[in-house]
Amino acid sequence: MAVIKTIGVLTSGGDAPGMNAALRAVTRSAIFNGLRVKAIYRGFKGLITGEIAEFKTQNVSNIIQQGGTVIKTARCQEFHTPEGRKLAYDRLQEEEIDALIVIGGDGTLTGARIFASEFDYPIIGLPGTIDNDIYGTDSTIGYDTALNTILDAVDKIRDTASSHDRLFFIEVMGRDAGFLALNGAIASGAEAAIIPEITTEFDQLEELIKFGFRKSKNSSIVLVAESDITGGAMHYADRVKNEYPGYDVRVVILGHVQRGGSPTAYDRILASRLGNAAVDAIIDGQRNIMMGIDDDQVVAVPFSKAIKNDKPLDRELLKVLRNLSI
């Protein structure tokens, strides 16, 4: 195995609060261990185009509290092709980068796994996504911050819902995962959450009405996970207007506000721990793994497991939400 002298680091896919904390941890841990660090701007796209700069300790000063990613992120269709990945590999060789740490979600880890297998190249992944949908880690970098952003928004919306006796459908992110919607509903005291994990099992709107979730309340809030499976908040609002015209319905789509903002203490600590562990893993000769957190312990998860397996949702939380929404 070749001696590792220089580590490359990039952020890819959707931005998530805490990515900068992870970048800081990777950079400083690598330098502490006598390694050079090269930051790759705009994800895999920047790897192909050569937007690469060496990072020193001062490059990551005063960024731990910042949202987004200071080295930018971008989608890259070219990296989906063998020709594009070959250009990326040639750039790594040209820059004398011996190993790569990638920070991103499912798509980022999938691309990293393909690239690593094609070129027998050492890559370590960090789970950076607000969706919390990566298998093998209790939490992903950015999830806790997004959850708190949702909580703050719902608290404000409830003031209006109560004042006007309205039913609000609030759409939150999560792709095809309901972690943000379900836990956001519990934390904010919402009456219900509509999530993709159970949409195909029964009609969630009929269940809400059948259980009389507004019998003892003048206003109600329902969190809906954005997804082609659920149809989103507008779908359910239209159904209520048609099927239950007695309700005064409003829709709020939180959108990209959930991605931004200063990361919470939890996300900063998680990102710092995982970034430091990623450098240690490279030094130890590990490759093709994602660093995650399990029962507050840092763990190494093979790319194959992190990508192929669906992260299970704790169904006990559905019971908690139902019991407390009366």
The residues assigned a catalytic role are 131
Neighbours of 106 (CB within 10 A): 20
Alpha carbons 104 and 119: distance in angstroms, whole number? 20
HEC sequence for 162-231: HHHCCEEEEEECCCCCCHHHHHHHHHHCCCEEECHHHHCCCCHHHHHHHCCCCCCCCCEEEEEECCCCCC
Alpha carbons 196 and 36: distance in angstroms, whole number? 44
The three-state secondary structure class of 139 is: coil
What is the longest distance spanned by two Cα atoms in the chain?
Answer: 70
